[in-house]
Structure 1
């Protein structure tokens, strides 16, 4: 009897029990199981229509880790009447590829059935490997589904891109991650309601996993397997256990409320105030908390014009380059690019003269009388322009020092007043020289 009792106890389900990791057990099995990506899989969207109509063609799925590229490929295979083969850009060489492709060609001839070839990390294939795929894609012997975390327009051959439809998948939102986690907690193939997670812990896990569903499920599984159950056999997870499982402490940072706006405000004001140490601290807090690096980069581009301007014109070039580089490289390496841009802009001379100039001019246009364009500046490239008096413009490059004294706007109001900071000091001297030339004429 004791043996039977022990057997009964040993057969009780355990959190995380299963032959496969939780993330694998919770893979979607149908389109309706996929959480997020409504921009391509929502009702009526092109990709969903093609899958449901079984009219799928070769596609490239492009997006960050854990956004569902592999899951979507498997769902497509299940939802369509296709044979499914998979390989990886890490594992396959030309010989392996040819073997798979020839088998697909033979299968189609014998069974009259197409093969979906899913290639994970397709960006790792070199040009010759990608070229091997081309005739089979072109002839319809395979339907290619490539998955990549890298921009396919940079890392995949143009001929292969042109024969495929490219769909970009986005990082999952925090709400979508929480939905994935709740499903895993409740589903019989998941944790089967033997684990509970309080809302604060769920919020933290959804936040720190930065849109990566696989990472969130792995962290949940580790926490469930390493936390002892209570007397009822239920594992109860709090933020403490979740922090331990992801090895990342919680930072007070809500992405759409006060802490978000307060932190970016402190960051911008620190750069404007020429304090690189403070600026880097606030930058580190935002990166650690999972702030969108593109949001930070966009704010730096604005600051480069608003607060530095012509005191250091290179600031705008560097900030724009940083924004493009962060988009191209991604995280975590993008943090280095953001730090370089932040420290450069914080240490640059400051001027808001351009910002003040455009706002003052806009106010005049909005509130004052609209000034007419002087006749000699009007378009004179048409028949009859001279008769209307639209002539007399003097080409500046023909003047001494490439300067000609003529009226460019019928007002003496000054909008742009350069400061004595950085390069604007040189600009100020140049404007003063031109002003002296105008005074001589009058």
Structure 2
């Protein structure tokens, strides 16, 4: 079986003769590390990636395998190709979605033949390696250990959870970050002007550029693909500018009226939270979708959900906060597009949870009293009595250890004199908080020395 080779001599020759026939994203693919967009933390002089391609003293000691971890569209395939070009090695690409152990072994055997017969080393780029089972990942170890191939594997999932330890320990782990709007904007401008791109055939309207940045979501490939579609549509109309309307028609996607830095950012976020508070899951999902489609940072959305869980649900369902926190942790590891499912899960759970703002009102009232100067000294029996001289000052004297009394609730004063008897937390009768109404009444009675 002949191994799949993405960049054969014939393909390169065809691409050189007919560059306009290749997709814009392919034509704009960086040819050197200096052309790579973003990832400046990996591209500094003397960095492991620079050394890997022979700059500044050769490759990283003890590593012939590289793991690229980052969101889609951040340049994982591009970096692998640049490495192969810079080191003048054959480039073979496999996807863990379609390839198995048989295909991996065929590539490795082909690499050994190419090395033995022609003295040519091979870069094996394995995309979405996290989809490989443990046994499939094990099949890569001999090739990595014996340097039969330079393995460059890409994953969008946390490699510490998805990659076997032997492979992880033998690899250089490089973390790629989502591209910023400025990164994408610079790439779009290059694509518009450079000869291998659109060579000045069209310009890009300001609104259209803003929309491209929104729908790109930090994905360079998506941005270039949309730009190419918009440019083609404009030229078909005989126009030399890609307008917002033309771009929308070309990508079949309406522009979201949402500005991450303007009023709409706050309006849509406010509407999301108020819809959750109002228990309207459908409306909440609508506003969530608008945020996602506008390219909102999923971590920002997750933070707002965590706040909502305590502000509007609180003790009525304490598991709502657990759900929101779990969602925040999950989106930090997963990223878009799958993060949309996690955020939707949390949004629906919070919208349908019983509501109570008792905790919000309680801390608000307590803070208001503190700001108004209603503090007062800590009662002497509650003060720290462990240091030398505390007993002489009467600190800790008379304190009743609650665990020494029946029910573990001692009849003693905890608040300062000025606030003794002041109640902040007033539970509702909604959801799980209903049972706390009776508990709070019982505790307050016991603290006063009433009841048994």
TM-score (norm 1): 0.82
Contact 1:67 1:211 in 2 (8 A): yes
**Alpha-carbon distance change, 99 to 236 in structure 1, aligned in 2, over 3 angstroms:** same
Counterpart of 1:12 in structure 2 is none
| Separation of aligned partners in 2, 1:368 and 1:141 | 74
SS in 1 for 2:174: strand
**Alpha-carbon distance change, 439 to 335 in structure 1, aligned in 2, over 3 angstroms:** same
| Separation of aligned partners in 1, 2:42 and 2:19 | 34
Match of 2:59 among 11, 31, 55: 55
Match of 2:94 among 73, 87, 91: 87
SS in 2 for 1:440: coil
Counterpart of 2:289 in structure 1 is 284
**Mean Cα deviation higher: 287-296 or 358-367:** 358-367
**Alpha-carbon distance change, 368 to 188 in structure 1, aligned in 2, over 3 angstroms:** same
Residue 383 of structure 1 deviates from its aligned partner by 10
**Mean Cα deviation higher: 196-205 or 33-42:** 33-42
Contact 1:181 1:217 in 2 (8 A): yes
Q: Does 1:261 align with 2:270?
A: no
SS in 2 for 1:291: coil
Contact 2:91 2:125 in 1 (8 A): yes
Contact 2:19 2:27 in 1 (8 A): no
Contact 1:374 1:409 in 2 (8 A): no
**Mean Cα deviation higher: 43-52 or 338-347:** 43-52
**Mean Cα deviation higher: 77-86 or 213-222:** 77-86
**Alpha-carbon distance change, 128 to 263 in structure 1, aligned in 2, over 3 angstroms:** same
| Separation of aligned partners in 2, 1:283 and 1:90 | 30
SS in 2 for 1:87: strand
| Separation of aligned partners in 2, 1:41 and 1:165 | 15
Contact 1:227 1:235 in 2 (8 A): yes
The 5 Å alignment of 1:5-404 reads 18-42=20-44, 47-48=49-50, 51=53, 52-53=55-56, 54-56=58-60, 57=63, 58-80=65-87, 82=89, 84-104=91-111, 115-228=122-235, 235-359=240-364, 361=366, 371-372=377-378, 378=384, 395-404=401-410
SS in 1 for 2:305: helix
**Alpha-carbon distance change, 44 to 395 in structure 1, aligned in 2, over 3 angstroms:** farther
Structure 2, unpaired ranges of 5+: 1-17
Contact 2:306 2:324 in 1 (8 A): yes
Contact 1:377 1:408 in 2 (8 A): no
1:96-139 deviation digits (Å, cap 9, x = unpaired): 32343345456667888764322112122211121122233234
**Mean Cα deviation higher: 391-400 or 344-353:** 391-400
Counterpart of 1:418 in structure 2 is 426
**Alpha-carbon distance change, 431 to 118 in structure 1, aligned in 2, over 3 angstroms:** same
| Separation of aligned partners in 2, 1:290 and 1:66 | 14
Residue 29 of structure 1 deviates from its aligned partner by 0.8
Contact 2:358 2:428 in 1 (8 A): no
| Separation of aligned partners in 2, 1:169 and 1:127 | 24
| Separation of aligned partners in 1, 2:302 and 2:396 | 46
Residue 27 of structure 1 deviates from its aligned partner by 0.3
| Separation of aligned partners in 1, 2:48 and 2:203 | 38
Structure 1, unpaired ranges of 5+: 1-15
Residue 175 of structure 1 deviates from its aligned partner by 2.4
| Separation of aligned partners in 2, 1:107 and 1:151 | 33
